[in-house]
């Protein structure tokens, strides 16, 4: 892609549109190889605002016929404790941008319940994942999509929160003091058992933290993105020029 620069596992693109396109291309290529190998593709979606462009792109004419959608299983990396109709809901964002526009069977969409009791919902989602992935010791997603917050958090693994140290549970109701609320999130070992992981990071608000996260000084309690070290090798980073200005 024109104007792209690569430094190790970090790819720097001109703008958010190119980041979305690179993400969509990776989604398609990973889906194709997983489906041809095993007959299905499992992906954990990122929330927040950055992935919306990529999700919308996947549902366009240009991309929609490139994936065998009935063989795709959609999971979520995290969710806010809100109704699925709430503007803050990660499920709602993904549904509007992609899920409602593609022939994915509804029983292939594994939503995290944001409404109701957070601790109970974390356990329900863990049951859903265990039903799907056991006897594997942890879910082995074909692809996990992640974002990065300006504070260095990813999924809902926020600095200094209990979920950062979780080694056994698959899903955690994480109390986030600065938000004054719980967030539901898969845990670091779950993410790190994925075959492929990509961070999509765009915009100036991420520029200060990104060099720290990618730097050699390890401080995962303050920079939770640093907890993401997949067994299968390094995660990919697709970032735009604005977010990469400090690199």
Count of residues that interact with ligand 6PG, criterion CB under 6 A: 16
For the segment 9-48, give every residue that binds ligand 6PG (CB under 6 A): 46-48
**Is residue 50 part of the contact set for ligand 6PG (CB under 6 A)?**
yes
Which residue in 16, 19, 73, 78 binds ligand 6PG (CB under 6 A)?
78
- Return the structure tokens found at 30: 């990973």
What is the Rg, in whole angstroms, of the alpha carbon atoms belonging to the chain? 17
Which residue in 114, 147, 152, 188 binds ligand 6PG (CB under 6 A)?
147
Partners of 174 in the beta sheet? 183
User: Is the sign of the CA dihedral 75, 26, 193, 145 positive or negative?
Assistant: negative
Least distance (Å) between residue 9 CB and ligand 6PG: 18
**Is residue 198 part of the contact set for ligand 6PG (CB under 6 A)?**
no
**Is residue 155 part of the contact set for ligand 6PG (CB under 6 A)?**
yes
CB 246 within 8 A of CB 180: no
Least distance (Å) between residue 3 CB and ligand 6PG: 22
**Is residue 226 part of the contact set for ligand 6PG (CB under 6 A)?**
no
**Is residue 90 part of the contact set for ligand 6PG (CB under 6 A)?**
yes
**Is residue 114 part of the contact set for ligand 6PG (CB under 6 A)?**
no
CB 240 within 8 A of CB 13: yes
Q: Which is nearer to ligand 6PG, 41 or 199 (CB)?
A: 199
The helix/strand/coil state of 86 is coil
Q: Long-range contacts: 172-178, Cβ < 8 Å, 24+?
A: 172/122, 173/118, 173/119, 173/121, 173/122
**Is residue 174 part of the contact set for ligand 6PG (CB under 6 A)?**
no
Q: Which is nearer to ligand 6PG, 11 or 209 (CB)?
A: 209
Q: What sections of 39-173 are H helices per DSSP?
A: 52-58, 61-64, 90-97, 118-133
Least distance (Å) between residue 133 CB and ligand 6PG: 20
Q: Which is nearer to ligand 6PG, 77 or 188 (CB)?
A: 77
CA 214/CA 113 separation, integer angstroms: 32
Choose among 5, 75, 4: nearest CA to 42.
Answer: 75
Binding-site ranges for ligand 6PG (CB under 6 A): 46-50, 77-78, 80, 90, 147-149, 153-156
């Amino acid at each position: 892609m024109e104007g792209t620069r690569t430094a190790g596992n970090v790819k720097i693109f001109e703008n958010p549109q190119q980041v979305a396109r690179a993400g969509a291309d990776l989604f398609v290529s990973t889906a194709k190889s997983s489906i041809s190998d095993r007959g299905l593709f499992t992906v954990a979606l990122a929330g927040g605002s950055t992935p919306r462009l990529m999700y919308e792109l996947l549902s366009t004419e240009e991309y929609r016929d490139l994936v065998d959608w009935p063989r795709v299983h959609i999971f979520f990396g995290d969710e806010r404790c809100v109704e699925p109709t709430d503007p803050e809901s990660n499920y709602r964002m993904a549904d509007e941008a992609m899920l409602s526009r593609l022939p994915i069977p509804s029983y292939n969409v594994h939503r995290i319940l944001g409404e109701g009791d957070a601790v109970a919902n974390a356990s329900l989602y863990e049951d859903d994942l265990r039903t799907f992935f056991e006897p594997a010791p942890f879910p082995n997603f074909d692809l996990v999509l992640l974002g990065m917050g300006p504070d260095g958090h990813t999924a809902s693994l926020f600095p200094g929160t209990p979920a950062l140290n979780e080694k056994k549970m698959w899903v955690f109701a994480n109390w986030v003091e600065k938000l004054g609320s719980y967030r539901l999130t898969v845990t670091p070992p779950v993410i790190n058992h994925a075959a492929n992981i990509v961070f999509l990071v765009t915009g100036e608000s991420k520029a200060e933290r990104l060099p720290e996260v990618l730097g050699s000084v390890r401080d995962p309690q303050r920079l939770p993105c640093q907890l993401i070290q997949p067994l299968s090798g390094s995660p990919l980073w697709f970032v735009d020029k604005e977010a990469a200005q400090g690199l």
